[in-house]
């Protein structure tokens, strides 16, 4: 049983990449992870059970990023790896191929990636921030383009530990994840050249404050890739669910395409392009053996798939690309 150092090399964030204030954040996080409790303790113990292995190949530029092949592990090692990965359920974002294990996650996140990948600037040598990075699926896809560094922020510990399970074998030294919200990240002026904020803004009570905060940590001319639930209207309005939306308690403002554009303009962005609008399908989000919870099928009206169980329009997501000015 090997204890994995979750923050090994993380002093580089401040010392090499100039993200001032991060060392204080790390000092605050250390005790939580040195003496974990509750679910954090459970995930931490699971991680210690990862079998030793060296990935003979890493291929990130594919729908299911590949880390290692089956023959890198003994049958007993593979069995142990599968057990640990199952202990870290639910696996939402993916898919991945880990030492030949087909990690068929709830979301086919490759579908989202493919919607915008050809429509954003190259990531080579850029400093990238991924807000709400989950288990790092998109960070691995970004890594294939050789960014200077990618920092993910992901407050949910189950996803954070999944990231570490993958990174344990991938060993990518320009990828970092902090188990914090974006709001807890010290404001670093000109800190990032590209920021991804996908699937997060509708969870925020104050989306404009978040957008302004994102703007303030970006280099002038930097690129924001913003993905969010939208309503397909060109009027100046937002849907504000009375209580839940698709069974989620924490959904606040769902803007029209026009309102989203206004939010971006009024928080310091220009050259705003909506590069994709797509309904979420049962092909993209569905139940698999890697989750033990409900999925999209349970969130839609069984009589009318164009509505949520609450009677709101079913999820439609849009991707906006904009420049910080
Ligand atoms: C719907 S998921 C989207 C994940 C991924 N970005 C994607 O687009 O597939 C939202 C993620 O954002 C995280 N999150 C929620 N509030 C956040 C915040 N204030 N700062 C950073 N991450 C947050 C959640 O824990 C969750 O993993």
Domain limits of the chain?
A: 12-324
Coil/strand/helix, residue 25? helix
Which of 67-81, 112-126, 290-304 shows the lowest per-residue confidence on average (mean pLDDT)?
Answer: 290-304
Ligand 1 centroid–CA 155 distance in Å is 8
Which residues fall within 8 angstroms of residue 127, CB to CB, at 6 or more apart?
A: 17, 147, 148, 149, 151, 191, 192, 193, 194, 219
Count of beta carbons in the 10 Å neighbourhood of residue 120: 16
pLDDT of 12 reads 97
Ligand 1 atom index nearest CA of 155: 25
Q: Whose CA is nearest to atom 3 of ligand 1?
A: 199
Average pLDDT of the chain to the nearest whole number:
96
**Could you tell me where the DSSP H helices lie in the chain?**
12-15, 22-34, 38-48, 75-87, 109-116, 137-143, 157-170, 207-216, 257-266, 296-299
Q: Work out the average pLDDT over 170-179.
A: 98
Per the document, the length of the chain is: 325
pLDDT digits (tens, 9 = 90+) for 80-132: 999 999 999 999 999 999 999 999 999 999 999 999 999 999 999 999 999 99
The closest of 243, 154, 255, 262 to 202, measured between CA atoms, is 255
To the nearest whole percent, how much of the chain has pLDDT over 90?
Answer: 95
Q: Whose CA is nearest to atom 26 of ligand 1?
A: 132
pLDDT of 2 reads 73
Ligand 1 atom index nearest CA of 130: 6
Exposed, middle or buried: residue 27 (CB in 10 Å: 0-12, 13-18, 19+)? exposed
To the nearest whole percent, how much of the chain has pLDDT over 70?
Answer: 100
Q: Work out the average pLDDT over 275-297.
A: 93
The closest of 281, 262, 287 to 272, measured between CA atoms, is 262
DSSP notation for 150-192: EEEE---HHHHHHHHHHHHHH--TTEEEESS-GGGSPP-TT-E
Q: Work out the average pLDDT over 261-267.
A: 98
Ligand 1 pocket: which residues have CB below 6 Å? 93, 109, 131-132, 134, 153-156, 159, 181-183, 198-200, 203, 227
pLDDT of 1 reads 65
Q: Work out the average pLDDT over 153-182.
A: 98
Count of beta carbons in the 10 Å neighbourhood of residue 82: 14
pLDDT of 218 reads 98
Q: Whose CA is nearest to atom 8 of ligand 1?
A: 198
Q: Work out the average pLDDT over 251-264.
A: 97
Q: Work out the average pLDDT over 169-193.
A: 96
Handedness of CA 139, 165, 168, 70 (dihedral sign): negative
Which long-range contacts does 203-210 make (Cβ < 8 Å, 24+ apart)? 203/250, 203/251, 203/252, 204/252, 205/252, 207/252, 207/253, 207/255, 207/263, 208/263, 208/266, 208/267, 210/182, 210/183
Q: Whose CA is nearest to atom 11 of ligand 1?
A: 132
Architecture of domain 12-324: 3-Layer(aba) Sandwich (3.40)
Q: Work out the average pLDDT over 231-252.
A: 95
Q: Whose CA is nearest to atom 14 of ligand 1?
A: 132
Count of beta carbons in the 10 Å neighbourhood of residue 17: 18
pLDDT of 234 reads 83
Q: Work out the average pLDDT over 253-258.
A: 97
Q: Work out the average pLDDT over 294-320.
A: 95
Ligand 1 centroid–CA 9 distance in Å is 24
Q: Work out the average pLDDT over 285-305.
A: 93
Ligand 1 centroid–CA 183 distance in Å is 12
């Amino acid at each position: 049983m090997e204890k994995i150092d979750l923050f090994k090399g993380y002093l580089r964030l401040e010392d090499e990449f100039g993200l001032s204030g991060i060392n204080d954040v790390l000092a605050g996080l250390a005790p939580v992870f040195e003496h974990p409790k509750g679910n954090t303790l459970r995930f931490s113990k699971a991680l210690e059970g990862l079998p030793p292995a060296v990935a003979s190949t890493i291929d990130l530029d594919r729908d299911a990023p590949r880390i290692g092949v089956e023959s890198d592990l003994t049958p007993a090692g593979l069995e142990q790896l599968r057990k640990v990965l199952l202990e870290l359920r639910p696996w939402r974002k993916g898919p991945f191929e880990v030492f030949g294990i087909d990690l068929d996650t709830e979301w086919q996140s490759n579908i989202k990636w493919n919607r915008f990948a050809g429509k954003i600037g190259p990531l080579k040598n850029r400093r990238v921030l991924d807000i709400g990075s989950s288990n790092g699926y998109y960070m691995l896809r970004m890594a294939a383009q050789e960014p200077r560094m990618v920092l993910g922020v992901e407050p949910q510990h189950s996803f954070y530990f999944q990231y570490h399970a993958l990174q344990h074998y991938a060993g990518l030294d320009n990828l970092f994840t902090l188990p914090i919200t974006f709001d807890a990240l010290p404001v670093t002026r000109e800190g990032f050249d590209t920021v991804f904020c996908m699937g997060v803004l509708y969870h925020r009570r104050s989306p404009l404050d978040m957008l302004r905060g994102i703007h303030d940590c970006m280099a002038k001319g930097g690129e924001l890739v913003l993905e969010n639930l939208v309503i397909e209207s060109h009027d100046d309005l937002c849907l504000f669910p009375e209580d839940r939306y698709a069974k989620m308690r924490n959904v606040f403002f769902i803007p029209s395409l026009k309102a989203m554009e206004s939010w971006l303009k009024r928080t310091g962005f220009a050259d705003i392009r909506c590069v994709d609008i797509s309904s979420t399908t049962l092909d993209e989000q569905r139940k698999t053996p890697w989750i033990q919870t409900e999925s999209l099928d349970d969130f839609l009206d069984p009589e009318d798939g164009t509505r949520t169980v609450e009677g709101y329009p079913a999820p439609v997501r849009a991707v906006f690309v904009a420049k910080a000015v």
